[in-house]
Structure 1
Amino acid sequence: MVNSTILASGSGGHGSFSVVVPALPDLIWGTLAFVVVALAVYKFAWPSFSAMLDERSEKIEKGLQAAEIARKEIAEERQDLQDEVVQAHRDAAEIREKAQENAKLIVVDAQVKAKDEAAAIVDTAKQRISADTEAASRALRSDVGALATELAGRIIGESVTDSELASRVIDRFLDELETSMVKSEPAAAQEV
Structure 2
Amino acid sequence: MLQALVTVAAEEGHSGGNPLLPAVYDITWSLVCFVIIGFVVWRIALPRMAKVLDARSAAIEGNIAKADEAQREAEAALEQYTAQLAEARKEAGEIREAAREDGKKIVAEAKDTASSEAARLTAAAHAQIEAERQSTLVSLRAEVGTLAVDLAGNVIGETLSDDARAQAVVDRFLAELEASEKAAQ
Q: In the alignment, residue 104 of structure 2 is paired with which amino acid?
A: K
CA distance in 2 between counterparts of 1:156 and 1:129 reads 39
Q: CA deviation at 1:146?
A: 0.6
Tell me how many residue pairs correspond in the alignment. 172
CA RMSD of aligned residues (A): 3.0
CA distance in 1 between counterparts of 2:89 and 2:147 reads 84
Q: CA deviation at 1:179?
A: 2.6
More helix by share: 2
State the TM-score, normalizing by the size of structure 2: 0.74
Q: In the alignment, residue 171 of structure 1 is paired with which amino acid?
A: D
CA distance in 1 between counterparts of 2:143 and 2:45 reads 140
| Unaligned stretches of 5+ residues in structure 2 | 1-14
Q: CA deviation at 1:170?
A: 1.9
- What is the 5 A alignment of 1:65-80? 65-80=65-80
Q: CA deviation at 1:127?
A: 1.8
3-state SS, counterpart of residue 89 of structure 2: helix
Corresponding residue for residue 13 of structure 1: none
| Unaligned stretches of 5+ residues in structure 1 | 1-7, 11-15, 186-192
State which drifts further: 47-56 or 80-89.
80-89
Corresponding residue for residue 64 of structure 1: 64
CA distance in 1 between counterparts of 2:52 and 2:60 reads 12
State the TM-score, normalizing by the size of structure 1: 0.72
Corresponding residue for residue 95 of structure 2: 95
Q: Alignment identity in percent?
A: 34
Corresponding residue for residue 5 of structure 2: none
CA distance in 1 between counterparts of 2:73 and 2:124 reads 74
Q: Deviations over 1:57-78 (max 9, x none)?
A: 1110111011101111211122
Corresponding residue for residue 8 of structure 2: none
